[in-house]
Every structure is written in structure tokens, then in C-alpha cells.
Structure 1
Amino acid sequence: MGNSESALISEKQLEIYQLETFFTRKEILHIYQSFENLNPDKVREAFMAGNYQVKMDYQEVIQLAELKYSPFKDRICRVFSEDQSGDMTFSDYLDMLSVMSMQAPKDLKAAYAFKIYDFNDDDEIDRTDLDELVNRVTGFRMKTEDVDGIVDEILKECDMDENGTLTAAEFEDILHKSPEFSANFNIEV
């Protein structure tokens, strides 16, 4: 990273970003560059003026390599967007990548994964959420009865209190037993 990126972010702001994330100064500057590339004039102008809260709209954000092909990009943007619009500031983007980094603890990843998969935002993952999850993962190519069978199996295996929903605690417990989860919820910077 050259001095041009670091000149756009004050030393004080870089320190704040380091304290709030699992990233080093160098990683933050690298992440800034990918954010800036979405709309260079808009971002550079705002950062030069000390406005670190400039927002990229959802359509710009989903062009990021980390999101472009994700079947959950709309949910990820919404969950990590401070105002839940899907539009993101650099801080929102940095938070998203920090949670998905190798350095983030598994329980933090689990908490955000729960929010992403809770499509109806009712603080539980129910049959409707699981249907949506399975359909998105499979590209909406499965028959309804096959999706229902998978959802039934998930609930049978994971719904400890057998109430037809997964709580955040049940979800986290399942993920702690699944080593694949951490591997699939990481983004390299």
C-alpha cells in the first residue's frame, strides 16, 4: 500500500478501525482500496474531506468480489449495514470482513450467520427461513418435497426443544459441532 491510501484515512481513524476489527493497519488499507474501487471519485472526495461515513449503495456494494456471487448477498448487506438498508459505509464493510476473517471468534461468526439466515427477522430460524436457506444454497433447483425433506431433517437433528424453530443458542451449538462452518464463513483479505 502506498502513502496515498493512508493519507486519505487519518492516523486516528486507522487506530479506531484497528481497535474495532481483527485487522492490521496494512489490511485495513488494502480493504479500503477495494472499497474505493467501487466508486473512486465519490470515496476519495469524501475521505479527503474527512467524511468516513460516505455510503455506497447496495448495487455498488454487491459488485465487491466477496459478495458478487453469494446467494446471501442481500442478507449480508442488510445485516452489516448499520441502517439495515443494504447500503454500506466503509465501517460497515470493514465490520463485515472482520467478522468473516480467520481471526474472528466462532461465536461471533455464529451470531452473524444466525442473523443472515433469519430471513424474516423474527429472532428465530423457522421452517420458512430454512426453506429459503436450502433453496438459495441449491440455486432454487430442488423440488418442494425434496426441500421439505431436508428442512425436516435439519429440524429433527437441530431443534433441541422440538418447537419447530432454531434459537440462536441451538444454532450456535450446531455450528460449534460443525468444523466446516468456520471454513465456509471466512474471507481472506
Structure 2
Amino acid sequence: MGNKQTIFTDEQLDAYQDCTFFTRKEILRYVLRSVLQTVTPQLCNIKESESLNIITFAEDIQSKHFQGLHGRYHELAPHLVPMDYTNDPDCKLPLALIVNMPELKENPFRSRIVESFSEDGMGNLSFNEFVDMFSVLSEMAPRELKAIYAFKIYDYNVDNYLCKEDLEKTLNKLTKEELTPEEVELVCTKTIEEADLDGDSKLSYSDFENMITRAPDFLSTFHIRI
């Protein structure tokens, strides 16, 4: 990046912070309304205490992190991403560039992670979406928010449930396909039997949330440092 300084107007900084978990003002609108409603209707029943955790997280994020993330975004494609944002450029970087970042390229869920944060579902990320992704995956993000996105990432067929096929794909990714098909079948069947509270043979977000509360270490590694 040399000595170049990222240039934003004060209004742009305020606008970016408003929609990327950075301020209290917009956190409920952006996360609890926009994100939760697009992930699954069940998530709209998030507890008040969990909402407060998300708000606290937003207030803890500082503008310097935002500026640093822009530097990383710019490094991925200097010919596409301007340093000067005063003209409000319309820029998105493709999945192929994002997943090859050192922070992501060894992650077995790298494509699903990026796709889950992209508006088009194809992994093309605007700067806002890029910031959202690393904010949620930071160590400071609350467990409740990580759980929401973990569910979204594992929901391969995007039907707002984790079915047996979703769990099989997830398990194969987690184990690097070292289990036999029979072992995968057994684990996924047992998981649904134990976690499916309403007996519909698939896991809702409530089922998933209840399951991971019994596994406190489940989300402990659900973070990426940048």
C-alpha cells in the first residue's frame, strides 16, 4: 500500500459504519432485521439478551479496523478497488479472489463462508460485505452472531433448515472426507435423532442453537484473524 492513504468522506465513513456492525444506531436494523429475516424466520425470535450482546459487539469495533480492512480489500485487486472512495465506487470482488486470501484458503468452508456473506449468493463481495464477513468472524463477535452465520454456512440448499444432506456435506468438510459413507450416515442420523426437537427429521435454527449450547467449544474456532 506504500504511503497511500485511504480516502473517504465523513459521510461515507458514517454510512459504512451504520451498515457493518460498527455502531449502535444501525445494528438492530442491519443485523436483527435484515440479516436475521433473510437467514430464517425462526431467527427473528432471538432473545433480548442476545440482541444486547450483538449491540455491545458493534459498539466495540473501531474505525481503525474498518480502514485496515479496506487496505486488505484493496490489496486483492488494486486495479479494481480505488483508494479514494469519495466518489462512492460500485465495486465487487469475485469469489476466486476472496477465497485465496491467506486467512481463508486453508478453510474447508471458504467458499460457503464467502457465499453466505454475498448479496448475490455467488460470493461476489462489495466492501461492505467484506467488512461484514471479517467482523462476524473476528474473535470479538458474540457467540449468538457466530451461531447465526454457522447455521447459514452449513445450510447448503438454502432452505432455512439443516437436513441430512447438509449435515453430510458439513461432516465431510470437517473430517476432510476421512470417514466412510457408512460412518457419515450414522453420525448424521444420530445427530438428527438427538437434536431434532420437533420430529421433522431436520434441524431448525432453534434445534441447531440448542445443540451447540451442549458443545461449548463448537464455535471457539469460528474466527479468522486479519
Q: TM-score, structure 1 length as denominator?
A: 0.88
Tell me the secondary structure at the aligned position of residue 84 of structure 1: coil
2:12–2:86 contact (8 Å) kept in structure 1 = no
User: Matches of 1:46 and 1:141 in 2, distance apart?
Assistant: 47
Contact 1:55 1:87 in 2 (8 A): yes
What does 1:70-81 align with in structure 2 at a 5 Å threshold? 70-81=107-118
Q: Which one of 196, 202, 213 corresponds to residue 176 of structure 1? A: 213
1:4 corresponds in structure 2 to 4
1:47 matched residue in structure 2: 85
Counterpart check, 1:125 vs 2:162: yes
Q: Is the 8 A contact 1:38 1:63 kept in 2?
A: no
Unmatched 5+ stretches in structure 1: none
Match of 1:25 in 2: 63
Q: How many residues align?
A: 187
RMSD: 2.1
Counterpart in the other structure of 2:32: none
Match 1:89 to one of 118, 126, 132: 126
Percent of matched pairs sharing the same residue = 32
Question: Is the 2:168–2:184 Cα contact (8 Å) retained in structure 1?
Answer: yes
Determine if contact 1:5/1:32 at 8 Å carries over to the other structure: no
Q: Kindly tell me: are residues 182 and 141 of structure 1, through their superposed partners in 2, closer, same or farther at Cα, counting changes over 3 Å?
A: closer
Distance 1:37 1:31 in 2: 10
Runs of 4+ in 1 over 4 A off after TM superposition: none
2: CA distance, partners of 1:155 / 1:18: 39
Alpha-carbon separation, structure 2, partners of 1:172 and 1:46: 42
State whether residues 5 and 33 of structure 1, in contact with CA within 8 Å, keep that contact through their aligned partners in structure 2: no
Is the CA contact 1:77–1:86 (under 8 Å) kept in the aligned structure 2?
yes
CA contact (8 A) 1:106 1:176 kept: no
